[in-house]
Amino acid sequence: MPTYRAPVKDMSFVLNEVLNIGQYQNLPGYSEVTPDLVSAILEEGAKFCENELQPLNYSGDREGCTRHNDGSVTTPKGFKEAYNKYVEGGWSGLTQHPDFGGQGLPHVLGFCFEEMMISSNHAFAMYPGLSAGAMAAISLDGTDEQKQKYLPKMVEGYWTGTMNLTEPHCGTDLGLLRTKAEPQDDGSYKISGTKIFISAGDHDLSENIIHLVLARLPDAPKGVKGISLFIVPKYKVGDDGSVGEFNNVNTASIEEKMGIHANSTCVLNYDGARGYLIGEPNKGLRSMFIMMNAARIGVGMQGLANSEVAYQNAADYARDRLQGRSISGTKNPEGPADPIIVHPDVRRMLMNAKAFNESSRAASLWCGVLVDLAHNAETEEERQSAEDMVSLLTPIIKGVFTDRGFEYCVSSQQIFGGHGYIAEHGMEQFVRDARIAQIYEGANGIQALDLVGRKLPANGGRAIQAFFKYAADIRENAKGDDRLRPFTDALGAGLKDLQSATMWLMQNAMQNPDNAGAGSTAYMHLFGHVLLGLMWTQMAKVAVDALDAGTSDPTFYENKLTTGRYYMKRRMPEIKAMLAEIEAGADEVMALDAANF
Ligand SMILES: Cc1cc2nc3c(=O)[nH]c(=O)nc-3n(C[C@H](O)[C@H](O)[C@H](O)COP(=O)(O)OP(=O)(O)OC[C@H]3O[C@@H](n4cnc5c(N)ncnc54)[C@H](O)[C@@H]3O)c2cc1C
């Protein structure tokens, strides 16, 4: 059976030493988070995830969710009890606004807890994850009345939320959606249509489910400019907040799927359900993007979180499993064979995952701080520049972290040999569960297009210029110390190649947009390497400073430097191949007739 140990020490290192969150005392929520409180929250979160959620991961996968003959849906054994503990522990309101009953703590702490929840039980973590997206949209675009009516119960966790975009004939291209919203005399709307693949769409964890649904008004323009967003509760809600009669949101079925079996993926029929417009008519996609952006970073963290737990189990296994002898001389002469961790190829797989996990955690948490700054920094300029950076990094975190997270789940499974393919070790579940993160919340190809087509040119390239400046400052700060040369050299080369790739796209995408489309995934991954190389440079500088200051835990910092050097020397050179792929352009990609594939 797999195990999980929450990486509390590494999270504390990133929060306190790399990001130095103590410097943001002026932001709401941050003044309370002393290092002691941070460690108390991380320790409590770790206990909950390790002791309550992780033990349900395997059994939840085996049992899955059930749709009963009366149309109701139940989650696997133990999920309801665990969810009740999640609510009782106040985890649902950790980062939510105090006006609605939340604790108002920084998002960056919420990101730490989210990673732990996903590592311990991806399918469970999706129930509160979807709620968080729905709460974000209501908070930003809801009327005061809507906020008062829905948010307090959602913040407490008594009600959960969902996101309803997808229909049978439209996933990526939401302009095609057909669900109808007909205005009623009382100001509400009658919602009719079918949504598919709705995560957490129906279940027995909460008293009510608040669906956020994209639909079209009768006079709506065609395409994405004619989509509006509606709040559609599963059970109607009285003016006093009481839960009333069933609102005709019918669960037609639960999808049979590859992984995340303990999360109910539902086909929902809206049979004249009562809905309430949120935000402006025909501007629903804007509100939906608020949810999606919050959710996309969360999905990116699913890549990291699955990779982390798979890696931990692979490392344990590699220390135990005896096979063969080390090619550089026996390491375990007392035993019949050496543990497989002596073999360089096994180590290569472990190091790839470790180097990715630690740097993608740093990048995710940096993004968490930026989200807090975007909401709460004192000046408009600071808020805007944080928002620019979050917006630029979101498709990279979603696309790169989930592609690579899946890759490292597979290589960690590989370390188990044939035993990794057998269900009881749990490794094949990590692979199956991690796979969906590359697909939902906008498939990764769409993330790459979003990066190249929207995020790079936005505001005359303001965000990418700010990224180059930030990276140059970090590199400058690390220069002049021989121990940091592998970091500053590789980061410098990576930044140069990122500049070249950006310039090439700017010069060649206008005349032939297929050049951008054909190079976008390579560009996203090139950028991902530079982002992680930047994180390693930042962490390495902290590590040498700690060693010079005579830290009481030199092994931790030495290990950081070794893992970072691994990344800079062995993974960053992949950038060259990615640059070549981008600069090769679209000619051969587009040359064959469709019939010749
Ligand atoms: C388990 C699961 C849970 C889900 N949860 C939810 C949920 O909670 N709410 C919800 O609304 N949806 C949900 N989805 C739906 C999911 O977001 C969509 O499946 C996804 O967005 C892709 O849409 P599609 O399946 O229709 O694929 P399509 O849009 O048909 O795309 C197929 C392929 O073509 C590519 N492609 C399409 N258009 C372009 C283009 N213009 N340029 C380049 N490539 C393109 C895509 O990248 C993809 O690889 C879920 C799906 C699954 C499987």
Average pLDDT, the chain: 96
- At 144 the pLDDT is 96
Report the DSSP pairing between strands 159-164 and 208-215.
parallel
C-alpha 224 to ligand 1 mean position (Å): 16
pLDDT in tens, 353-398: 999 999 999 999 999 999 999 989 999 999 999 999 999 999 999 9
C-alpha 437 to ligand 1 mean position (Å): 11
C-alpha 145 to ligand 1 mean position (Å): 33
Other C-beta atoms within 10 Å of 418: how many? 7
Would you state the torsion angle of the CA atoms of residues 542, 543, 544, 548, taken in this order, to the nearest 10 degrees? 100
**pLDDT band for position 80 (50/70/90)?**
very high
pLDDT in tens, 552-577: 999 999 999 999 999 999 999 999 99
Given the residues 358, 381, 441, 476, the one annotated as active site: 441
- At 487 the pLDDT is 98
Answer whether 265 contacts ligand 1 (Cβ < 6 A). yes
Atom of ligand 1 nearest to the CA of 255: 1
C-alpha 381 to ligand 1 mean position (Å): 35
**DSSP class per residue in 159-186:** EEEEEE--BTTBSS-GGG---EEEE-TT
Q: How does 22-31 read in b/e, with b if 16+ C-beta sit within 10 Å?
A: eebeebebbe
User: Given its phi and psi angles, is residue 198 left (phi above 0), alpha (psi -120 to 50 degrees) or beta?
Assistant: beta
C-alpha–C-alpha distance, residues 42 and 110, integer Å: 10
**pLDDT band for position 35 (50/70/90)?**
confident
Atom of ligand 1 nearest to the CA of 442: 21
Residues 6+ apart with CB under 8 A from 575: 493, 494, 497, 498, 526, 529, 530
**pLDDT band for position 295 (50/70/90)?**
confident
Q: Whose CA is nearest to atom 53 of ligand 1?
A: 197
**pLDDT band for position 11 (50/70/90)?**
very high
* Whether the predicted pLDDT of 516 surpasses 80: yes
Q: What's the rounded mean pLDDT across residues 34-42?
A: 91
Partners of 210 in the beta sheet?
Answer: 161, 233
Answer whether 453 contacts ligand 1 (Cβ < 6 A). no
Q: What percent of the chain has pLDDT over 90?
A: 95
**pLDDT band for position 522 (50/70/90)?**
very high
C-alpha 575 to ligand 1 mean position (Å): 28
DSSP code of residue 568: I
Burial of 570: CB neighbours in 10 Å, binned 0-12, 13-18, 19+: middle
Among 130, 256, 439, 597, which residue has the most ligand 1 atoms within 8 Å of its CB, making it the best to mutate? Answer: 439
Tokens 């086909």 — which residue? 267
- At 28 the pLDDT is 85
Answer whether 133 contacts ligand 1 (Cβ < 6 A). no
Would you state the torsion angle of the CA atoms of residues 173, 178, 184, 186, taken in this order, to the nearest 10 degrees? -30
Q: What's the rounded mean pLDDT across residues 238-251?
A: 95
- At 289 the pLDDT is 76
Please state the φ and ψ torsions of residue 438, each to the nearest 5 degrees: -75, -15
- At 420 the pLDDT is 98
DSSP code of residue 570: I
C-alpha 412 to ligand 1 mean position (Å): 27
Q: Whose CA is nearest to atom 33 of ligand 1?
A: 443
Answer whether 163 contacts ligand 1 (Cβ < 6 A). yes
Asked whether the beta carbons of 248 and 184 are under 8 A apart, the reply is no
441: annotated active-site residue:
yes
Report the SS3 class of residue 64. Answer: coil
Asked whether the beta carbons of 311 and 414 are under 8 A apart, the reply is no
Q: What's the rounded mean pLDDT across residues 541-546?
A: 98
pLDDT in tens, 448-459: 999 999 999 999
Atom of ligand 1 nearest to the CA of 166: 11
Asked whether the beta carbons of 96 and 107 are under 8 A apart, the reply is no
Answer whether 440 contacts ligand 1 (Cβ < 6 A). yes
Answer whether 199 contacts ligand 1 (Cβ < 6 A). yes
One-letter amino acid identity for 575? Answer: I
Atom of ligand 1 nearest to the CA of 200: 8
Asked whether the beta carbons of 24 and 109 are under 8 A apart, the reply is no
Atom of ligand 1 nearest to the CA of 170: 26
Atom of ligand 1 nearest to the CA of 199: 8
pLDDT in tens, 177-233: 999 999 999 999 999 999 999 999 999 999 999 999 999 999 999 999 999 999 999
Please state the φ and ψ torsions of residue 264, each to the nearest 5 degrees: -80, 115
Q: Whose CA is nearest to atom 40 of ligand 1?
A: 446
Residues 6+ apart with CB under 8 A from 541: 474, 477, 478, 484, 487
Partners of 235 in the beta sheet?
Answer: 246
Answer whether 259 contacts ligand 1 (Cβ < 6 A). no
Answer whether 442 contacts ligand 1 (Cβ < 6 A). yes
Q: What percent of the chain has pLDDT over 70?
A: 100
C-alpha 265 to ligand 1 mean position (Å): 14
- Joined together, the tokens standing for residue 26 give 């002026």
* Whether the predicted pLDDT of 34 surpasses 90: no
Other C-beta atoms within 10 Å of 551: how many? 14
C-alpha–C-alpha distance, residues 268 and 71, integer Å: 11
Report the SS3 class of residue 315. Answer: helix
C-alpha 438 to ligand 1 mean position (Å): 10
Return the H-helix or E-strand segment holding 237.
Answer: strand 235-237
- At 510 the pLDDT is 85
Q: Which is nearest to 275 in space by CA: 219, 208, 221, 228?
A: 228
Asked whether the beta carbons of 356 and 306 are under 8 A apart, the reply is no
C-alpha 226 to ligand 1 mean position (Å): 20
Return the H-helix or E-strand segment holding 470.
Answer: helix 462-478
pLDDT in tens, 189-201: 999 999 999 999 9
Answer whether 412 contacts ligand 1 (Cβ < 6 A). no
Would you state the torsion angle of the CA atoms of residues 258, 262, 263, 269, taken in this order, to the nearest 10 degrees? 90
Q: Which CA distances in Å does 328 have to 325, 332, 338, 347?
A: 8, 12, 11, 14
Atom of ligand 1 nearest to the CA of 214: 11
Among 440, 450, 452, which residue has the most ligand 1 atoms within 8 Å of its CB, making it the best to mutate? Answer: 440
One-letter amino acid identity for 211? Answer: H
Answer whether 171 contacts ligand 1 (Cβ < 6 A). yes
C-alpha–C-alpha distance, residues 328 and 325, integer Å: 8
Q: Which is nearest to 254 in space by CA: 243, 264, 239, 241?
A: 264
Asked whether the beta carbons of 367 and 543 are under 8 A apart, the reply is no
C-alpha–C-alpha distance, residues 487 and 490, integer Å: 5
Q: How many residues are given for the chain?
A: 597
C-alpha 54 to ligand 1 mean position (Å): 29
- At 281 the pLDDT is 95
Answer whether 87 contacts ligand 1 (Cβ < 6 A). no
